Chains A and B, each alone.
Chain A
């Protein structure tokens, strides 16, 4: 039963990914990407990763996609097409054919590598089984063995924050709007 659910969700994820590439407007791409992220979150849950499924929804669907939506609305790019339409126009150029060949070759390499790996069978996992990524085990790893990368991550986030503020700030210092009359 859950196996069938996995295959349905895998198809949903792939269709969503195709929608990201083919959607006419960026808004359509965001909606397709949202579908892919949710399908992947449920796949993580089925595979026994409860924390990662939550993090996927919270961080990807909740934070990153909202950031994309903010920028699309800020730049008013969503107005290019109000309906969700697919467009095959970007795929009909020489550049697209070369890119398609590269992507196809890469996918084939991945498929063959996975095929040749010959994994042992995984035992059936039911919903009552404890998660692979239990909070306790994950915390022990993150704050024990991986505490240095964990702290490097905090540095990365700080650098990102400062960098984004520096990038998004208005460049001209001469005609800065006076206090109280900022542009909307």
Chain B
């Protein structure tokens, strides 16, 4: 395909905005974590779009894919810790809503 790289970045911006919207709006902690994954995916897409733009046949720009791999690793670690926290919250409050943990609000 020879889609201009701008269009990949448009898609990335759209995905990130939807992820941010869900992160701010939804109350279910699991859905909030899924929205974080969505935002990380948007970042990956931006990395890969930049790498694709700067690659030539002789010199592939590998920084993009390498950072995308690091992002995937961090996303996996984040999901594991986040879901363990959800389980701990559920045990404490019998609820997986963000409003259940409101002790520290000012």
The residues of A with any CB-CB pair to B shorter than 8 Å are: 2-3, 5-7, 10, 13-14, 17-18, 20-21, 23, 26, 29-30, 33, 36-37, 40, 43-44, 46-49, 51-52, 55-56, 59-60, 63-64, 67-68, 70-72, 74-75, 77, 90-91, 95-96, 98-100, 102-104, 106-107, 109-111, 113-115, 117, 119-125, 129-130, 132-134, 137-138, 141-142, 146, 149, 153, 156-157, 160-161, 163-164, 167-168
Contacts and interface: CB of A to CB of B under 8 A. Distances in A.
Contacts of A106: 13, 16-17, 20
15 contacts: A5-B1, A10-B11, A17-B14, A21-B18, A21-B26, A37-B41, A59-B75, A102-B20, A106-B13, A110-B9, A110-B10, A114-B9, A121-B4, A125-B1, A132-B61
A51 B65 contact: yes
Contacts of B26: 21, 90
Contact of B86 (A30, A71, A134): A71
Contacts of A68: 30, 33-34, 79, 83
Interface residues of B, number: 70
Contact of B48 (A14, A47, A71, A100): A47
A60 B72 contact: yes
Interface string B70-105: 101111110111011111101000001000000000
Contact of A17 (B24, B38, B79): B38
A67 B85 contact: no
A14 B21 contact: no
Contacts of B16: 106-107, 110
A14 B15 contact: yes
A67 B84 CA distance: 10
Contacts, number: 236
A103 B41 contact: no
Interface of B: 1-22, 24-28, 30-31, 33-35, 37-38, 41, 44-45, 48-49, 51-53, 55, 57, 60-63, 65-66, 68-70, 72-77, 79-81, 83-88, 90, 96
Nearest to A44: B48
Contacts of A119: 4-6, 53
B41 A40 contact: yes
A168 B33 CA distance: 17
A47 B8 contact: yes
Contact of B70 (A6, A96, A149): A149
Given A17-B15, A52-B69, A47 B37 contact: no
Contacts of B33: 68
